[in-house]
Structure 1
Amino acid sequence: MNNTHTATAEPQLTRSTLWLMTIGSGMVVANIYYNQPLLVEIARTYGVPEARAGSVAMLTQVGYAIGLLFIIPLGDMLRRRRLILLDFVLIIFSLLGAAFSPNIYVLMVASLLIGATSVVPQLFLPMAAHLARPEARGKAVGTVMSGLLIGILCSRTLSGFVGAHLGWRAMFLIAAGMMLVLWVVLYFLLPEVRPQFKGNYRSLMQSLLHLFRTEPKLRLAAARGALSFACFGGFWTTLVFLLEGPPFHAGPDVAGAFGLIGAGGAVMASVMGRLSDRFDTRYILMGTISMLFLAYLIFGFFSYSLVGLVAGVILLDVGLQSSHIANQTLVFSLNPQAHNRLNTVYMFIYFMGGAAGTYIASQAWRIWRWDGVVAVGLVFSSLALAVHLLYSGRRSQATAENPEAAS
């Protein structure tokens, strides 16, 4: 009786299902980034320093990491569609809480909850990898990631425009309405995927530690991802502060418009998925992580030039998103029965790195302004490249000498 569901044929990953998950990922992940171009307006509303307002962005990323740790593993244990639809209810209430926050502290709590509940894309990604044919897994992951990245880019542009014309609270109300519409669409169109994990929630969570201890490639991918995302989070959180001052004197709409400049990162996501299916990701990652370091060099030398900022943003987005795709394709290749848990470990560490970068860069801005932010980015990107060169080389050598030991 307990195994009857295993005999049921899994749904096929059709083009329409893939597009549904792709669009849904972009719409949901946008919730995490709406606040970044609005931080100056939030600081003015509550009369708090910019660094305190920066905590709103940091707590959203911390909340996302928490949601990854405690919600995403349930994708291996519960019916995926049912879990996603329930989570959407929590997303909507969290967004409404942010819209009606009476003070900065309530907004911080609401932001933490927005991050914790907006983890649906990390249920879609393993779902796409699970339903895709093995030879097309990287392409499926890259396609969903393209939608996710477009959502990140458009979120900043949309929130910057709405914040400049309707106020920052309106953005969260609009987001809640979009989530309600998406819930209805998913209710009717999203297929169900039955769980494969046999055990209780405690054993499920314990298995996360087991995977972390026994999968060295997972640990390496997570470390690379966390350090890279720290560079990304630090830049986007403090960019609005830089643009507010001389010589730019720009509002949230201009800061948000910078999101569209990084569209190359979204385009590269699909390309990188295909490349990861065919080539050794070690060399791909060496180049993409180097882009992060180069981006911060440009930010340092051309910080008061719009052309310099644009060039740096393109390198930063393409470098980060390409690295992320390569890391995730590697992670999803490790254990087909534990895709959600593998993704949980990777993404939890990834977003904790982003939260650390956001917090440290905000404090660096408070003390040293933009020079401090650039220094933080150079340190994190250097560490990411050092970890990759040191440990990926060791793993490849171990694989060549003893393939069984390295598996």
Structure 2
Amino acid sequence: MSTPSRPLTGRQHSAQLTQGLIALFAFSCATIAANLYYAQPITELIAPALRMSAGTASLIVSLTQIGYALGLFFIVPLGDLLENRKLMIATAIVSIASLAGASVMHSSGGLLAMSLLIGFSSVAVQILIPLAAHLAPDHSRGRVVGTIMGGLLLGILLSRPLSSVVAGYFGWRFVFAAAAVLMTLVTAVLALTIPQHQPSHRATYFELIGSLLHLVRTTPVLRHRSVYQALMFASFSLFWTAVPIELTRHYGLSQSAIGLFALVGAIGATSAPVAGRLADAGHSTQATFIALIAGALSFAPALVHPAWGVYGLVVTGIVLDFAVQMNMVVGQREIYALPAASRNRLNALYMTSIFSGGAIGSAVASVLYEHGGWTLVASTATVFPVIAFVHFLAIGRPHALRRS
């Protein structure tokens, strides 16, 4: 494995990335990304313990998301300016402290502040992924990013059922405490293992932030890919926010059974390496076509044959996760092929757009369900990838063909 004593600059990276390091990056991304979602299924346990109203308890999740958005915009671009390993470790230390703080907080205000910091510091994952892309040779960058993104998605999908089970046995405080311990171990291993990378970009921080709008204006690939994945992630978040309500109210499933249902989404992570290999082979346009079509068709069981019941929801979960993951990896592969000096800022903009789409999907889920049940949820969730597909056919695909 690489050692931290060897700084990397320019394009000295072809021999730096081993299979062990790829596995470490994937596991680390899963661990860090999971921190964003541990609180979602346990707010009903936290609220009475800290005498919080239901509305105040919902802010735990909202502030975590807001913190993540702020971190994406203000911290991740620093990866184009500061030494990456130090930046990632410093951010991870804040994550450890905020998780530990959440585990011992006895006031609602304190826990809400820790939630904001947990989200803010979880952007360490978006420093690791561009670093891995820098270390990977051009011919295998898609495969490497796909493998690591598979780990990240697994962390997201497994965090909710894991949090529910652990909190049920040991209490909600133990969830945050255990996450802090796991983050400490992961950070220590990363500090001893990953190589340094000092960007060649020279600018002030404010010049760096000011350049974000310029990158949006001058990078069509970024704009198109951001639109596709923001819409796909809106559908993804809408489904996974609303489906527990449907499983509880319509099918009477217990919390444990819902946790098991959530595990089916982990199957979708298998599309990440496949998508990476397709992108490496020059088939990004075809992979995007498949992903957007699959996303639009994933809700067909609910709209065409509702009698399929839970089995239909399982099919939707697997196909939708497969499509979302494939489209994300292909998009990242294309963005990481752009000039390396802007890689962290491009990634920050891409992920901010994805997160914004996901936040919209989550925000409208319960409202849609209350007004029209699962049929309205499924119909709306179908519209998002359909819009993305129309954009792809009308604008994105012709642009991609001209570039090729």
TM-score by length of structure 1 reads 0.89
Are residues 9 and 288 of structure 1, via their aligned partners in 2, closer, same or farther at CA, if it must alter by over 3 Å?
A: closer
Residue 61 of structure 1 contacts residue 354 of structure 1 at CA under 8 Å; is this kept in 2? no
DSSP 3-state at the match of 1:118: helix
1:245-297 CA-to-partner distances (Å, cap 9, x unmatched) read 2422411x332222321222211101110111113322211221222222223
Residue 75 of structure 1 contacts residue 123 of structure 1 at CA under 8 Å; is this kept in 2? yes
Aligned to 1:257: 260
Are residues 314 and 360 of structure 1, via their aligned partners in 2, closer, same or farther at CA, if it must alter by over 3 Å?
A: same
State how far apart, in whole Å, the 1-side matches of 2:201 and 2:399 are: 29
Question: CA offset at residue 298 of structure 1?
Answer: 2.5
State how far apart, in whole Å, the 2-side matches of 1:399 and 1:187 are: 40
Are residues 156 and 282 of structure 1, via their aligned partners in 2, closer, same or farther at CA, if it must alter by over 3 Å?
A: same
State how far apart, in whole Å, the 2-side matches of 1:326 and 1:369 are: 33
User: 2:287 matched to 1:284?
Assistant: yes
State how far apart, in whole Å, the 1-side matches of 2:170 and 2:134 are: 42
Pick aligned residue for 1:370 from 374, 381, 385: 374
Question: CA offset at residue 52 of structure 1?
Answer: 6.5
User: 2:346 matched to 1:342?
Assistant: yes
Aligned to 1:214: 218
Residue 360 of structure 1 contacts residue 376 of structure 1 at CA under 8 Å; is this kept in 2? no
Any unmatched runs of 5+ in structure 1? 401-407
1:213-255 CA-to-partner distances (Å, cap 9, x unmatched) read 100110000111111111111222222222332422411x332
Are residues 81 and 357 of structure 1, via their aligned partners in 2, closer, same or farther at CA, if it must alter by over 3 Å?
A: same
Amino acid of the residue matched to residue 309 of structure 1? L
Residue 76 of structure 1 contacts residue 341 of structure 1 at CA under 8 Å; is this kept in 2? yes
Aligned to 2:207: 203
Are residues 297 and 61 of structure 1, via their aligned partners in 2, closer, same or farther at CA, if it must alter by over 3 Å?
A: farther
Residue 361 of structure 1 contacts residue 372 of structure 1 at CA under 8 Å; is this kept in 2? no
Question: CA offset at residue 8 of structure 1?
Answer: 10
State how far apart, in whole Å, the 2-side matches of 1:262 and 1:229 are: 14
Pick aligned residue for 1:123 from 116, 124, 127: 127
Aligned to 2:4: none
State how far apart, in whole Å, the 1-side matches of 2:42 and 2:188 are: 29
Are residues 302 and 63 of structure 1, via their aligned partners in 2, closer, same or farther at CA, if it must alter by over 3 Å?
A: farther
User: 2:272 matched to 1:269?
Assistant: yes
Aligned to 2:394: 390
DSSP 3-state at the match of 1:262: helix
Aligned to 1:96: 100
In the TM superposition, 1:270-349 aligns within 5 A as: 270-300=273-303, 301-302=305-306, 305-349=309-353
User: 2:192 matched to 1:156?
Assistant: no
Aligned to 2:33: 29
Aligned to 2:42: 38
Aligned to 2:3: none
State how far apart, in whole Å, the 2-side matches of 1:396 and 1:6 are: 30
Residue 87 of structure 1 contacts residue 120 of structure 1 at CA under 8 Å; is this kept in 2? yes
TM-score by length of structure 2 reads 0.89
Question: CA offset at residue 331 of structure 1?
Answer: 0.8
Question: CA offset at residue 23 of structure 1?
Answer: 1.2
Residue 34 of structure 2 contacts residue 159 of structure 2 at CA under 8 Å; is this kept in 1? yes
Amino acid of the residue matched to residue 296 of structure 1? F
Q: Cα RMSD (Å) of the superposition?
A: 2.6
Residue 301 of structure 2 contacts residue 308 of structure 2 at CA under 8 Å; is this kept in 1? no
State how far apart, in whole Å, the 2-side matches of 1:85 and 1:205 are: 21
Residue 73 of structure 1 contacts residue 205 of structure 1 at CA under 8 Å; is this kept in 2? yes
Q: Which stretch has the larger CA shift, 167-176 or 301-310?
A: 301-310
Amino acid of the residue matched to residue 159 of structure 1? S
Q: Which stretch has the larger CA shift, 74-83 or 189-198?
A: 189-198
Instruction: Among all aligned residue pairs of Structure 1 and Structure 2, give the percentage whose two residues are the same amino acid.
Output: 36
User: 2:196 matched to 1:192?
Assistant: yes
Q: Which stretch has the larger CA shift, 88-97 or 338-347?
A: 88-97
Residue 99 of structure 1 contacts residue 173 of structure 1 at CA under 8 Å; is this kept in 2? yes
Amino acid of the residue matched to residue 314 of structure 1? I
Question: CA offset at residue 303 of structure 1?
Answer: 8.1
User: 2:35 matched to 1:18?
Assistant: no
State how far apart, in whole Å, the 2-side matches of 1:353 and 1:104 are: 28
User: 2:248 matched to 1:244?
Assistant: yes
Question: CA offset at residue 53 of structure 1?
Answer: 5.0
Pick aligned residue for 1:65 from 60, 63, 69: 69
Residue 298 of structure 2 contacts residue 319 of structure 2 at CA under 8 Å; is this kept in 1? yes
Equivalent residue pairs, number: 395
Residue 39 of structure 1 contacts residue 240 of structure 1 at CA under 8 Å; is this kept in 2? no
Aligned to 2:183: 179
Question: CA offset at residue 392 of structure 1?
Answer: 1.3
Q: Which stretch has the larger CA shift, 365-374 or 64-73?
A: 365-374
Aligned to 1:83: 87
Q: Which stretch has the larger CA shift, 217-226 or 383-392?
A: 383-392
Are residues 97 and 336 of structure 1, via their aligned partners in 2, closer, same or farther at CA, if it must alter by over 3 Å?
A: same
DSSP 3-state at the match of 1:248: coil
